[in-house]
Structure 1
Amino acid sequence: MPPLPDWLRQRSDDDLVALLRARPDLATPPPADTSVLATRAGVRSSVARACEDLDSFALSTLEALVLLDADTAPVTLDAVAELLGCDVTAARARRSLAALQALALAWGDEDAISVVPAAREVLPTFPAGLGRRADGLADAADVLAGLDEEERRLVDKLAGPSPIGRTKEAAEQVPLERATTPVQRLLARGLLLRRDAETVELPRQLALAVRGDRPMGPVEPEEPAPELADHGQSAVDAAGAGEALELLRHVESLLRAWDEDPPDVLRSGGVGVRDVRRTAKAVEIDENRLALLVELAVAANLVANSEDAEPQWLPTVQSDTWLASPPEQQWAALVAAWLDLPRLPGLIGARDEKDRLLGPLAEDLRRPLAPRDRRRVLDYLDELPSGHGARPDDVATVLAWRAPRRGGRLRDDLVRWTLREATTLGVVARDALTTAGRVLLADGAAEAARYLALPEPLDHVLVQADLTVVAPGRLEPDLAAEMKLVADVESAGSATVYRVAEHTVRRALDAGHTAEDLHALFRTRSRTPIPQSLTYLIDDVSRRHGLLRAGTAAAFLRCDDPVLLAEVQANPNVADLELRRIAPTVLVSPLPLADVVDGLRGAGFAPVAEGPDGNVLDLRADARRVRGRNRPAPPAATSAPGERQLTELVAQLRAGDRAGAARRGNAVSPERGRPSAEATLRLLRDAAQQRRSVWLGFVDTHGVRSQRVVRPVSVGGGVLQGVDTDSEEVGSFPLHRITSVAVVEE
């Protein structure tokens, strides 16, 4: 059986390219020859990384090889298949072995298979739940048959997933004649191995006898097949579009809420529990959904830390652009941020190691590998037929079989969290990937937004007799803006219900609309007749609106009706405004204009603010904004070499092997780590005259060392011109980069 370096040299170039593609860490830095490659392939950390990509059956095959001690002596494929159990055919074991060989975790032919020694270190302490062999335990089947009921029950339990048992009876070795318990009797007969004062271990022979024709216990040779549900792609896309619109509405509500009442930034970062509850109530969603929206808003740079003396979470300048953008662009910004989000929002609500509650934006949510795991879940849904979905538990089962060593203790939770978040974003609907979701994985968020099946915006509403206005779908942006100004949202969903009230009409009038403007809005936009109650409400509020005119004196209050001004001045609820009459129709106050207007409105009057030109002045406070930060690029994965680079690397490996095998004759002795320039020139010129090949130790411009066999053509100007004997191409080798040189003996 050849060692791993020799076996790798026998592989084809395509095999080596495939190995380096599957295990890119082996190619960095480029190995000088196959011996270096083989050494790297057996390093524990590299073997552990390679095992992360093994499926459940390939891991079972590797465990079987370790149990057969293939890391110390070659074993046969028949022995591996037999250990894997009666459900595994030789052909299936052969395919699994081929997968291990492709990763250089195992090598050899079917009659002599070996594994890298580091495989034993990266696998569980007890592969397949089997313990050590016990000396002198020859016929385990007969021994098993002679056990009493209590002893057999104990042995059966330890023959399960773990051979380890905890018991205080292991503290003392009791002779068989004085043994009274099953543990004492089995220890006395050598049928349990004592590990320490409180631990016993079941010998491998007994466990194998209990398991019978399934020596490694339950083994899954094939990927689980989930039960798929066909919902139809159009229905999936429609449901996803509905979720997307709901998401955008809630994010907009979040931005409005934090614009008016921004939460403080905790000392440890994040948002406080009280602020989360308050905002969730304002946005009318549950706290779990709000937590995800907060993470998305910050990731998309719509919200940021103000980073001042008393930091708060505030909408950014970019949030105004986002609010003014079409829904498709809004969705693309959120989805792109989520897909590359290096955090786990699913952990929100859990507790850390110090039993502290994890809230939105907490630093403990950071997980650099989250984007990789998120894409892995979506990639599986992308494999399913169009319109077909699988339950989250089934998806978790399949992905656990494909890569059981990935994800750690949160492996299955990651799948469920990803599917829940993707459903909130409209990437997944009814447990199936939407068309926009498929495009997202292939071409990115901007392109995916074109496939978001949003309904066409409507240009009309339905006014009801009870002063509610029904929007039977998504409204055109200008109509939606008008409705938000003149009415409050009462309920939302596939249809949005607005309610018109006195304060909402006043809000529209304060913004500069006239009564005729509002009548025209409902008259031209409603598909139903305008009820008289709405007409009367608009006219009544308009008639009282603006009778009082407030301006800056610090502030003045004027009105064409002196009686109304007298009523205002006599009202005890406005005494704090310090109003003073300076003319029959004018009052002044030393307070700011906004305070005067708010005080009068609080007392039941309906003033409007007046600008220097006499027009209505909008006193709503300017929104406070922070610049925010540019969204950082997703952490770059370890850049894998391209096909051309891999092909060149394999060629260098072959050259290094041939150079290493070349017999070296006259050589130049190095001086201070580098050969003498004079001696190098002399040797190379002699070789060129005699047409003899030389062995070069060479460092390229990237600092990569390699070995070459070169046939010198000329030496001059500090450069060796020679024919590389591997590629038969003429190359240039600067003399200052040559680290060693020797004549090749023919």
Structure 2
Amino acid sequence: MSGTTLAEWLRAQEDHALVALLRARPDLATPPPADTAVLATRIGSRASVARACEDLDTLTLTVLEALLVLDADLAPVDAKAVRALFGKTDVRPALRLLRARALLWGPDDALSTPPASRDAVTPFPCGLGRSVPGLVDVDVDDLPEDERRVLRALAAGPPVGQTKDAARLVPLEGATTPIQKLLARGLLVRRDAQTVELPREVGLKVRGASPLGPVQAKEPALGTVARDPSTVDHTGGGAALELSRHVEALLRGWSDEPPAVLRSGGVGVRELRKLARDLDVDERRAALLVELVVNAGLVADSDGAEPEWVPTTQTDAWLVAAPEHRWAALAQAWVDLPRLPGLIGRRDDRDRLLNPLAPELNRPAAPRDRRRVLEALAALEPGTSVTDPDELAAVLAWRAPRRGGRLRDELVRWTVEEGTAVGVLALGALTAQGRTLLAEGPAAAAKRLGDALPAPVDHVLVQADLTVVAPGRLDPELADEIALVADVESAGGATVYRVHEGSVRRAFDAGRSAADLHELFRARSRTPVPQSLTYLIDDAARKHGRLRGGAAGSFLRCDDPVLVAEVLAHPASERLELRRIAPTVLVGPLPLAEVLDVLRAAGFAPAAEGPDGRVLDLREGGRRIAGKGRRRTAQPTTPSDEQLDELVRLVRAGDRAATTTGGARVSVPGHLGAGPSATLDLLQRAARLGRSVLVDFVDGHGTAARRVITPHVVGGGVLEGVDVSYGEVRRFPLHRITSAALVEDDGA
């Protein structure tokens, strides 16, 4: 049976079909193919076929393997023979898809696949071995049971097996084992001293009515539960706020005590455990937070002799941003993360523990695979929850069995787990803000989250046990004030803070007065302010600030000479090198911040004051380094339809030029300006006759390009003519033109 070649089939296709092909297989368009023959060669390359197969579902891939079982890569086959292998399963959609991807071409009675398909897909299509034509009429029904058992095992796939019985061939009368007997009968083929293979014809006979084995014609069922979309969105909003709170705590902690960078890169086990304790989270969540802040550009390696993980200058802008914008930056960093945090805590091939930020976690394909999981969830109706991530993994495995590698199924589970922690997913469903993030980007997602979050509350509930309950998300100003005077005791839908003497002193150290704190709770509490809180503030205020410090290095002053004498008599004063210069004044050479820290540790309650006598806030803002930008893996740009249309027009022009010149092209010699040349003659002749030429040239950026030009003027070192694709007059320096060929039909 004879068939058309791939190049002939491509030339017969409509332009829109070629555009669709180039969109589905973008590797074919880079660099632009000169003509259909080059495109056909590229389509049939092993690497390109392998890439094209990555997006095929299980049934379509099985159909391609069935074509290889029929040796469609060697000679055309009839579509009826393919359909016969699948029985009642309708494979016509799969055949159409293979044609659209140019993995199959020709009429129904002469279908062909690229010769490289067998190497790119599998050497044993559908689990069947290589063909031995002489065994077409073999009968296996009368074989002994032990021999049939061996054939059934190999027929189930793979068709090769390791055995010591293949060391040498023995005649049937001398064979003692089933393998030796089957080799003697010719029903097995010896490949080497330890390997036997079941021929394709024998495997088909053994399989009988199921020649291709079990065929997964439909994708697995996916268990789902319908939930109220608003419930999903609100739950995700709560997770987003929790994420923002944890990241803020991480940044503030690492501002004061940056963890060291391991020699091998990453964060050490002790630092991770400390972070988990400080944030009151498990180590998996702490590790995810570390990966996020680095990929978001909020933390970076300080480099140097003793590098540390230090917050960057971008941290300050992030800290003052609205909660929804904080979340959007982190969520986008997670979607784009070119790493697999799920591997943290495992061991590599050399039994080394994989730490957060370790180089071994890098996976350039991770963003693509993560988006694939999220887009599968986005295809469900809003509020639809997946009950079991393993079922989602099975569905995605059916849709693209050649994607993901050995971590394919685990990556689905990790994506669901991490997406829930980040707030992109909630209750097994994609949130509205998650959908918006995928479709429109972080700015639109931030707005969508802002709509989903409840309005900030402007009040708190003060309890008699000195706890302060925030019945929702506090407005930023109130949140800052409460965080200054109280510590978070528990977080959630309602955050519980606790006020104690140390937290009140912290507010005083920051410049708040007792009157300020009384007014804060009086104005913002919806419950009566308990006397115990009033007494606590007043008692701390009486002790606070009685001892004042300034710069001498530093000075201490107090209206009470007895307290000054007590400080001077304390052992800490010797370390601080304090001396009395007046009954109520002490001075010392050390910085004021250090003096105050030592005195507070000794049990005193000093306050810092400025030249005007007002209390100063001497808390350090934390270390900062210059940001290094988000770590991203370069993603290939998708050409537009206009670009693909232009590329198809150039391929067609290349075909016509090859027809006109017999496949030859005229190249520009290096001495073009020194005298006439074949190329110059060709361009001038095209200008006189009004013919179009296919011109290859190098633009001003050194990039090779191709255009179909109708020359008007050729001379003075310049080709001037109409670009047929755009209808514009363009000028090309002749020294940049590398080759040219006449185009047979100017109407391209």
- Distance in 1, matches of 2:385 and 2:15, equals 41
Pairing 1:418–2:412 present:
no
Residue aligned with 1:557, SS: strand
Q: Which amino acid in the other structure matches residue 600 of structure 2?
A: R
What is the CA–CA distance in structure 1 between the aligned matches of 2:738 and 2:266, rounded to whole Å?
Answer: 57
CA pair 550-198 structure 1, distance change in 2 beyond 3 A? same
Conserved 8 A contact 1:574-1:599: no
**Residue in 1 that maps onto 2:87:** 86
Q: Which residue of 2 aligns with 1:195?
A: 191
- The match for 2:7 is 5
Residue number in structure 2 paired with 1:498: 497
In 1, are the aligned partners of 2:656 and 2:744 still within 8 Å (CA)?
no
Measured in 2, the distance between the counterparts of 1:469 and 1:16 equals 67
Please say if residues 654 and 694 of structure 2, whose CA atoms lie closer than 8 Å, have aligned partners that are also in contact: no
- Name the residue aligned to 1:95: 93
Once the two structures are TM-superposed, the CA of residue 485 in structure 1 deviates from its matched residue by 1.2
Partner of residue 446, structure 1: 443
Taking a change above 3 Å as real, the CA distance of residues 285 and 619 of structure 1, as seen in their structure-2 partners, is same
Query: For the residues of structure 1 that align with 2:663 and 2:273, how far apart are their CA atoms?
Result: 82
- The 1:210–1:674 alpha-carbon spacing in structure 2 relative to 1, beyond 3 Å, is farther
Greater shift after overlay, 290-299 or 131-140?
131-140
* Number of the residue aligned with 1:647: 645
Question: Does 2:322 align with 1:326?
Answer: yes
Inter-CA distance 111–489: structure 2 relative to 1 (3 Å threshold):
same
Residues in 1 aligned to 2:742 and 2:564: alpha-carbon distance in whole angstroms = 109
Q: Residue type of the partner of 1:179?
A: A
For residue 54 of structure 1, what is the aligned residue in structure 2? 56
Correspondence 1:228 to 2:224 = yes
Q: Is the 8 A contact 1:549 1:607 kept in 2?
A: yes
The amino acid that maps onto 2:94 is S
Cα contact 1:665–1:742 (8 A) shared by 2: no
With over 3 angstroms needed to count, the CA separation of the structure-2 counterparts of 1:320 and 1:81, relative to structure 1, is: same
| 1:507-556: CA deviation from partner (whole Å, max 9, x where unpaired) | 11122222222122112211112222212211222122222223334443
Partner of 1:129: 127
Deviations 1:399-422 (A, max 9, x none): 212221111112222222222222
Give secondary structure in 2 for the equivalent of 1:556. strand
- Any idea what SS the aligned residue of 1:314 has? strand
| Equivalent residue pairs, number | 735
Distance 1:551 1:413, change over 3 A: same
Match in the other structure for 1:342: 338
- Equivalent in the alignment of 2:278: 282
Q: Which amino acid aligns with 2:111?
A: I
Instruction: Give how far 1:573 is off.
Output: 6.1
1:616 match: secondary structure:
coil
Task: Say if 2:128 and 2:155, in contact at 8 Å, map to a contact too.
Answer: yes
Listed as ranges, the matches of 1:203-282 within 5 Å are 203-282=199-278
Please, which of 25, 37, 45 is the counterpart of residue 39 of structure 2?
37
| Map of 2:534 onto structure 1 | 535
| Residues 183, 530 of structure 1: alpha-carbon distance in 2 compared, 3 angstrom cutoff | same
Q: Deviations over 1:593-623 (max 9, x none)?
A: 3343233322322222333333323332342
Question: Given that residues 657 and 741 in structure 2 are in contact (C-alpha distance below 8 angstroms), is that contact kept between their aligned partners in structure 1?
Answer: no
Separation in structure 1 between the aligned mates of residue 659 and residue 92 of structure 2, nearest angstrom? 33
* Segment drifting more, 438-447 vs 333-342: 333-342
Q: Which moved more, 1:174-183 or 1:463-472?
A: 174-183
1:630 aligns with 2:626: no
Aligned-residue offset at 1:179: 3.2
SS at match of 1:143: coil
CA RMSD of aligned residues (A): 3.3
Query: 2-side partners of 1:571 and 1:682: how far apart?
Result: 102
Deviation for aligned residue 1:55: 1.6
TM-score w.r.t. the length of structure 2 is: 0.90
Please, which moves more after superposition, 414-423 or 718-727?
718-727
**2:67 corresponds to which residue?**
65
Query: How far did 1:68 drift?
Result: 0.8
**Aligned residue identity for 2:67:** L
Q: Which moved more, 1:581-590 or 1:255-264?
A: 581-590
Residue range with higher mean Cα deviation, 678-687 or 240-249: 678-687
Deviations 1:682-701 (A, max 9, x none): 77878888x6x879563245
Q: What are the equivalent positions in structure 2 for 1:401-416 lying under 5 Å apart?
A: 401-416=398-413
Counterpart in the other structure of 2:657: 659
Partner of 1:373: 369
Moved more, 95-104 or 125-134: 125-134
Single out whichever of 412-421 and 578-587 deviates more from structure 2: 578-587
| Contiguous gaps of at least 5 residues in structure 2 | none
Change (3 A) 1:548 1:168: same
TM-score (norm 1): 0.90
Verify the 8 A CA contact 2:668 2:677 in the aligned structure 1.
no
Moved more, 564-573 or 521-530: 564-573
Separation of aligned partners in 2, 1:744 and 1:136: 51
Question: In the alignment, which residue of structure 2 is the partner of 1:394?
Answer: 391
The one-letter amino acid of 1:502's match is E
In the alignment, residue 382 of structure 2 is paired with which amino acid?
S
Deviation at 1:582? Answer: 3.7
Going from structure 1 to structure 2, the CA distance change for 1:332 and 1:695 (only over 3 Å counts) comes to closer
Q: CA deviation at 1:715?
A: 6.6
Deviation for aligned residue 1:558: 2.8
CA positional deviation for 1:482: 1.3
SS of aligned partner of 2:153: helix
Please say which of residues 492-501 and 650-659 is displaced more in the overlay: 650-659
Counterpart code for 2:106: G
Cα separation, 1, equivalents of 2:504 and 2:61: 69
Distance 1:744 1:480, change over 3 A: closer
Task: Give unmatched runs, 5+ long, in structure 1.
Answer: none
DSSP 3-state at the match of 1:699 = strand
Shift in alpha-carbon separation, 1:668–1:383, aligned structure 2, 3 A = closer
Is the contact between residue 456 and residue 474 of structure 2 (CA under 8 Å) also seen in structure 1? yes
Residue aligned with 1:422, SS:
helix
SS in 1 for 2:300: strand
